Amino acid sequence: MSKKYLLDEAGKTVGVQTPLSTNGDSVYAKDIWVSESVTTNWADLDSSGAEIAHIPFSNLHTRIQNTTSDNPKTLLIHFNRTIETATASLSCAVGGSFSNIKLYAIKADDSEVVVYDGSLTSTVITTLDIKFDEQEMAGVKLEFHTANTITLSSITVFKSIEVNATLRAKSILTNAVEAITSARGSLNTNPTSQFKLEIALGHIPGLSFAVLSGVNETVTATETTVNPPGFVYPFLLAEGPLTVKSTSGNDIVGGTGANYVFINGLDFSRNPITETVAMNGTVGTVTTKNFFRVQPFPQVVLPIGSGKKNAGIISITSGTSILGQIAAGENIGKQTVYTVPLGFSAISTNQLFTGGGGNEVLFTDWVDFGGVGIMYDFGGFFVANSLVNFVPENFFIIPEKSDIDIRAKRSVGTTATATVFYEILLVDNALL
């Protein structure tokens, strides 16, 4: 039985170096326009019988050679159609060499652009890889600026192939594979802001933010929590009911000021609890739940009186100890104390301090790790009529039940003003 061969449109047997007419990874012999190529003074050194322009694109063991004393020697190879490329290579694998190479890209209009110039490099070589800015090429022209004999066995011109693709990656935010063009934008070039946005939107289970914010306009040489009353926060030793009252009789249900106040806190086990308290002016209302801690931020909630804000100073107390306070007209309390809830750990991610009043203020971070009753001073910052923004680069984890207390004292001068913004990332312990 006779063998059967697959032939191309020219009637030639299809093989490794003469594949079917497809847009392959590099220029093949089939891609050469012989009649437009210029191979004057180049010879078929191994008597392969192939076209001179085809030989360097056929295999590594057939060579072309130019023995003239011409300087430069020129070889122009024209392609059947224009390609995109950024890489070419030359070699002589079975005897012979070349040097002083200059490579041109031939454009579709037959103009020439130099993409590599080694014409002054006389080192004799047998292989050369050339990389250049991506070019549209209808052919290549090689010049060898030497009177010596030049021998080549291979010319490779790699084709650049454009592929429409969607880059996908596993998101560090959701652990899911997503496209970078997704609405989430997981591979955002600003990962810090994107990460915080994802947390704020609730897209990352187990992570949330808590913020401490406080102002004290009468800081003295005695260290105080940065709260409006100006005192070191009283961390209770037992849970119990709290009393909420105002300095104004207008803060009462049906009055023109605050009618209801929302309290966010923790019980003795440090589980979160909340309660909305009906105001009763200066008389006060006792909570129905037992609180161990008051967390940021107590606030006036709807419905509210016609004045749209609390008329007096609203205090949240346990006996004579003030655990939270809403300044008159502000509708929300400010405090720089916080207790890490049960089942969570905390990481400080941003701290901002300002000191004013013409005096120097010392801010300090106090932490009772695990809520065992021992406060540790983790140092702080001296601030004088300026702002300090500290973004930690080395993080430490504050465990559940820990109490955090940001304090300030005047270190130079008389009375000073202190403000604090303190950002905390809460992490569900199940993630650790």
Domain boundaries, given as residue ranges, for the chain: 29-158, 168-200, 207-215+338-431, 234-332
Q: What is the dihedral of CA 353, 359, 360, 361, to 10 degrees?
A: -50
Per-residue pLDDT of the chain (432 residues; tens, 9 = 90+): 455 555 555 556 655 555 545 556 889 888 999 999 999 999 999 999 999 999 999 887 899 999 999 999 999 999 998 999 999 999 998 889 999 999 999 999 999 999 999 999 999 999 999 999 999 999 999 999 999 999 999 999 998 877 666 666 666 555 666 665 544 444 444 566 677 888 888 888 899 999 999 888 888 888 888 887 666 788 999 999 999 999 999 999 999 999 999 999 999 999 999 999 999 999 999 999 999 999 988 999 999 999 999 999 999 999 989 999 999 999 999 889 999 999 999 999 888 888 876 678 888 889 999 999 898 887 777 887 778 888 877 788 999 999 999 998 888 777 888 889 999 999 999 988
Can you read off the two tokens belonging to residue 34? 């012989």
Check residue 161 and give its pLDDT: 73
Q: Is residue 368 within 8 Å of residue 235, measured between CB atoms?
A: yes
CA distance 315 to 313: 6
29-158 matches 207-215+338-431 in fold: yes
Fold of the 207-215+338-431 domain? Jelly Rolls (2.60.120)
Check residue 188 and give its pLDDT: 47
The 3-class secondary structure across the chain, one letter per residue, is: CCCCCCECCCCCECCCCCCCCCCCCECCHHHECHHHCECCCCEECCCCCCCCCCHHHCCCCCCEEECCCCCCEEEEEEEEEEEEEEEEEEECCCCCCECCEEEEEECCCCCEEEEEECCCCCCCECEEEEEEEEEEEEEEEEEECCCCCEEECEEEEECCCCCCCCCEEECCCCCCEEECCCCCCCCCCCHHHHHHHHHHCCCCCCEEEEEEEEEEEEECCCCEECCCCCCCCCCCCCCECCEEEECCCCCECCCCCCCEEEEEEECCCCCEEEEEEECECCCCEECCCCECEECCCCEEECCCCCCCCCCCCEEEEECCEEEEEECCCCCECCECEEECCCCEEEEEEEEEEEEEEEEEEEEEEEEEHHHCCCCEEEEEEEEEEEEEEECCCCCCCECCCCEEEEEEEEEECCCEEEEEEEEEEEEEHHHC
Q: Is residue 389 within 8 Å of residue 381, measured between CB atoms?
A: no
Structural domain 29-158, CATH architecture: Sandwich (2.60)
